[in-house]
């Protein structure tokens, strides 16, 4: 009789175990698949049934256990653990932070706090991040805690691609800010970028993108999709294609995309409208077909010296007058057209296609891009002080720079061998005359050039130079990654404005410089003296006990 009772207990225990296992399995599968399925529900129901049955059959044993001393101990222990877990939960819900760094690296600046407290319109932010962006997430949380006008949602574009697609986000690190129907995307992860973004979207301040006009540039208001200057320097799309049609390329698709991103687009003809030019947050020079006047070049030079940013899209075999300006940024516009027999778009070897890029915010997760009729770019032979150049897009190793417009065959000594650079981003910081003379590139030079100081009141500015303008025109804007490349470039350059003037938080790591003697002393102190003494005492204790 006793044996059969223990047998029943054993079988009931097995049923209970099987039930709990099935419930756990169903829970785990649901956590992995994250979608309801009938068979998972069935598994859970069977698990729950078995668990219930097991508990029912073991009711007397369980009740004895619960009522016994051990049951009390278990209940008491679990109760305390429950209270502790509740405290832990509350600590997460109502977090407190103390920033112990001297530079207050993890706190908001006074300007940001004041700006947030004075916000008039509510701003909703959707920030797309990956697990490595914990500090930026915390920064957004910190901002949201300052005011109830700012609300933040977090998503990972990898695990929530639909949400990212819906908001036009392509990579982690992008925040979409929305306020009263206005929408703004920002990519920067520091306090300055975020605070400026919030202020801009809440005020409805739009940035003005100026397209240079008057030299046959692509027209941002033209919906024409395949306009070429008849007979002028240009290119073909496909072997045997004839170049005819209309006035010039249109860029209305690019303009529409920019306006969707809350930018304002204007055409600026410099001789007529020099004042409007100074209002521009970004200057786009989209493939002029004739040379700019000297006064226009000077105006652009002045705009860049005053901290303006520009996107130069300059086609092959066209002298625009901007060559010296590019040289001042350390970029030489080669007199060639890039021919890439190995990697090109469709059947046109003069449309180099690119799938691999140098790592940069502009080229992150970019699909294939192609450049119908592009010139190549080279660095100046002498490094320009205060300038840092990063090539972003290169053609393949098999490509070459054809220096003759009438030939498409590599000739040693005449043509430029590949790979060729098609796009560069250049940052220029002001340097004083002495640094420029000696061409220093030290940290001190960088510090000296910070802010608005520097030579002749010049300010930091940046340009992106692309050896082609067609890639962003209506014909090609929507194909593969071309549109993204253009928009990323504009976003990168336009994000430089600084509405509330928060200086990026800097932190000088304290340094220690040791002489060889001091190093030896430190080594002796840290590794030999104290551990050695302890090891000797330990050995003595062991010897005594032996």
Partner 1 sequence: MNGALAVYQKEVLTYFRSPIAYFVVAVFLVGTGYFFLYNVFLTGNATMDDTFQSMGVLLITLAPVVSMRLFSAEYSAQTMELLMTLPLKPWQIVLGKYLGAVTILLLMAAGTLINLVPLYLFGNPETITILSGYIGFVLLGMACLAVGQFFSALTHNQIIAALITVSVLLGFWFIGHLQNFQSSYVIRDLVAYLSFSLHYGDFIRGLLRSEAVFFYLVVIAISLVLTSGYLQWKR
Quick one: which of 38, 96, 239, 443 contacts partner 1 (CB under 8 A)? 96
The CA-to-CA distance between both ends of the chain, in Å, stands at 57
Kindly state the smallest distance separating residue 543's Cβ from partner 1, in Å: 9
Pairing of strands 400-402, 416-417: antiparallel
Quick one: which of 11, 21, 63, 91 contacts partner 1 (CB under 8 A)? 91
Q: Is 518 in the site for partner 1 (CB under 8 A)?
A: yes
Q: Is 442 in the site for partner 1 (CB under 8 A)?
A: no
Element (H, E) at 339: strand 337-339
User: For partner 1, which is the closer residue by CB, 100 or 239?
Assistant: 100
Interface with partner 1: number of residues (CB under 8 A)? 56
| Paired residues of 353 in beta bridges | 370
365: its two tokens: 């997760």
Quick one: which of 7, 42, 64, 95 contacts partner 1 (CB under 8 A)? 95
Q: Is 161 in the site for partner 1 (CB under 8 A)?
A: no
Piece of 91-99, 140-148, 189-197, 291-299 that binds partner 1 (CB under 8 A): 91-99
Q: Is 523 in the site for partner 1 (CB under 8 A)?
A: yes
Which residues between 100 and 159 bind partner 1 (CB under 8 A)?
A: 100-102, 105-106, 130-131, 134, 159
Euclidean distance between CA atoms 21 and 186, whole angstroms:
47
Quick one: which of 5, 242, 511, 517 contacts partner 1 (CB under 8 A)? 511
Euclidean distance between CA atoms 203 and 502, whole angstroms:
17
User: For partner 1, which is the closer residue by CB, 106 or 171?
Assistant: 106
Euclidean distance between CA atoms 61 and 462, whole angstroms:
77
Q: Which residues contact 209 (CB under 8 A, 6 or more apart)?
A: 258, 263, 264, 265, 266, 280, 281, 282, 284, 490, 494
Chain mean position to CA 447:
25
Residue 157 DSSP symbol: T
Per the CB < 8 A criterion, the answer to whether 420 and 401 are in contact is: yes
Euclidean distance between CA atoms 377 and 367, whole angstroms:
22
Interface mask toward partner 1 for 47-86; x: CB under 8 A? -----------------------x--xx-xx--xx--xx-
Piece of 5-13, 119-127, 367-375, 534-542 that binds partner 1 (CB under 8 A): 534-542
User: For partner 1, which is the closer residue by CB, 70 or 478?
Assistant: 70
Kindly state the smallest distance separating residue 143's Cβ from partner 1, in Å: 16
Q: Is 537 in the site for partner 1 (CB under 8 A)?
A: yes
Per the CB < 8 A criterion, the answer to whether 462 and 388 are in contact is: no
Residue 125, helix vs strand vs coil: strand
Per the CB < 8 A criterion, the answer to whether 292 and 271 are in contact is: no
Quick one: which of 38, 239, 443, 509 contacts partner 1 (CB under 8 A)? 509
User: For partner 1, which is the closer residue by CB, 1 or 34?
Assistant: 34
Euclidean distance between CA atoms 329 and 458, whole angstroms:
14
Kindly state the smallest distance separating residue 544's Cβ from partner 1, in Å: 9
Kindly state the smallest distance separating residue 228's Cβ from partner 1, in Å: 49
Kindly state the smallest distance separating residue 54's Cβ from partner 1, in Å: 22
Element (H, E) at 264: strand 263-268
Pairing of strands 175-179, 369-370: unpaired
Residue 127, helix vs strand vs coil: strand
Residue 418, helix vs strand vs coil: coil
User: For partner 1, which is the closer residue by CB, 4 or 515?
Assistant: 515
Q: Is 517 in the site for partner 1 (CB under 8 A)?
A: no
Rounding to the nearest 10 degrees, give the CA dihedral for residues 257, 261, 263, 269: -10
Kindly state the smallest distance separating residue 528's Cβ from partner 1, in Å: 9
User: For partner 1, which is the closer residue by CB, 109 or 498?
Assistant: 109
Kindly state the smallest distance separating residue 5's Cβ from partner 1, in Å: 24
416: its two tokens: 């430029």
Contacts to partner 1 by CB under 8 A: 31, 34, 70, 73-74, 76-77, 80-81, 84-85, 87-88, 91-92, 94-102, 105-106, 130-131, 134, 159, 509-514, 518-519, 521-523, 525-527, 529-532, 534-535, 537-539, 541-542, 545
């Amino acid at each position: 009789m006793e044996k059969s009772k223990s047998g029943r207990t054993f079988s009931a225990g097995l049923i209970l175990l099987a039930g709990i296992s099935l419930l756990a399995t169903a829970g785990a599968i649901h956590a992995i698949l994250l979608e309801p399925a009938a068979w998972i529900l069935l598994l859970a129901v069977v698990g729950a049934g078995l668990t219930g049955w097991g508990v029912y059959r073991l009711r007397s044993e369980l009740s004895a256990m619960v009522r016994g001393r051990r049951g009390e101990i278990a209940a008491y222990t679990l109760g305390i653990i429950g209270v502790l877990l509740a405290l832990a939960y509350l600590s997460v819900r109502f977090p407190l932070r103390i920033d112990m760094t001297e530079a207050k690296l993890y706190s908001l600046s006074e300007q940001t706090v004041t700006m947030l407290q004075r916000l008039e319109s509510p701003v909703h932010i959707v920030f797309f991040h990956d697990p490595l962006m914990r500090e930026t997430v915390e920064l957004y949380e910190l901002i949201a805690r300052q005011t109830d006008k700012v609300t933040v949602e977090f998503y990972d574009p990898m695990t929530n691609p639909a949400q990212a697609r819906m908001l036009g986000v392509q990579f982690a690190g992008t925040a979409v800010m929305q306020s009263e129907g206005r929408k703004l995307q920002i990519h920067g992860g520091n306090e300055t970028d975020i605070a400026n973004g919030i202020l801009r979207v809440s005020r409805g301040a739009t940035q003005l993108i100026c397209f240079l006009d008057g030299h046959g540039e692509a027209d941002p208001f033209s919906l024409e999709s395949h306009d070429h200057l008849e007979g002028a320097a240009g290119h073909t799309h496909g072997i045997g294609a004839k170049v005819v049609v209309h006035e010039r390329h249109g860029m209305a698709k690019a303009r529409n995309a920019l306006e969707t991103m809350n930018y304002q687009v204007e055409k600026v003809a410099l001789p007529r409208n020099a004042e409007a030019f100074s209002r521009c947050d970004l200057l786009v020079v989209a493939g002029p077909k004739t040379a700019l006047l000297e006064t226009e070049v000077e105006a652009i030079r002045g705009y860049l010296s005053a901290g303006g940013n520009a996107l130069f899209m300059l086609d092959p075999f066209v002298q625009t007058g901007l060559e010296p300006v590019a040289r001042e940024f350390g970029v030489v516009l080669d007199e060639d057209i890039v021919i890439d027999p190995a990697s090109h778009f469709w059947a046109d070897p003069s449309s180099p296609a690119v799938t691999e890029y140098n790592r940069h915010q502009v080229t992150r997760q970019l699909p294939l891009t192609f450049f119908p009729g592009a010139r190549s770019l080279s660095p100046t032979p002498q490094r320009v002080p205060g300038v840092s150049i990063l090539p972003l897009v290169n053609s393949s190793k098999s490509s070459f720079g054809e220096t003759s417009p009438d030939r498409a065959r590599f000739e040693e000594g005449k043509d430029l061998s590949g790979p060729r650079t098609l796009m560069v981003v250049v940052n220029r910081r002001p340097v004083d005359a002495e640094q420029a003379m000696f061409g220093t590139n030290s940290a001190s030079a960088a510090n000296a050039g910070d802010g608005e100081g520097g030579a002749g009141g010049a300010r930091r500015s940046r340009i992106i130079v692309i050896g082609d303008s067609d890639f962003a025109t209506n014909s090609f804007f929507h194909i593969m990654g071309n549109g993204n490349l253009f928009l990323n470039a504009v976003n990168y350059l336009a994000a430089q404005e600084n509405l509330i003037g928060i200086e990026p938080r800097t932190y000088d790591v304290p340094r220690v410089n040791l002489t060889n003697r001091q190093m030896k002393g430190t080594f002796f102190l840290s590794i030999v003296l104290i551990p050695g003494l302890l090891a000797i005492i330990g050995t003595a204790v062991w010897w005594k006990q032996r």
